[in-house]
Amino acid sequence: MSFHDAGTSIAISLAVVKTLILLVGSFITFLAFKAYRRTRQRALGLLAAGFGLVTLGLVLAGLLYEILGVSLMMGILLESLLMLVGFVIIAYSLYVT
């Protein structure tokens, strides 16, 4: 296997994994939002928002790099910031009563 072939297979694997993360994360966000709509509990709304931001953050760097031509480091920084904010919101949603 040449270097180019290895890079291509890793890129395809990464795209598949990121797509699965997007699907599963979106499903979790949907379930949390559905629970929020049913109960109107603020904590569940925050949980849905947090999972949505984490999911968006996990797929953002590659999209920015490939589609918009943003540098990879800037994409990773934005991805990490969204994930950080999402995790803070999730933690807060679990803390509030």
Report whether pLDDT(71) > 60.
yes
pLDDT by residue (tens digit) across 45-57? 999 999 999 999 9
**pLDDT given at position 27:** 98
3-state secondary structure the chain: CCHHHHHHHHHHHHHHHHHHHHHHHHHHHHHHHHHHHHHCCHHHHHHHHHHHHHHHHHHHHHHHHHHHCCCHHHHHHHHHHHHHHHHHHHHHHHHCC
- Predicted TM-score (pTM) of this structure: 0.84
**pLDDT given at position 6:** 72
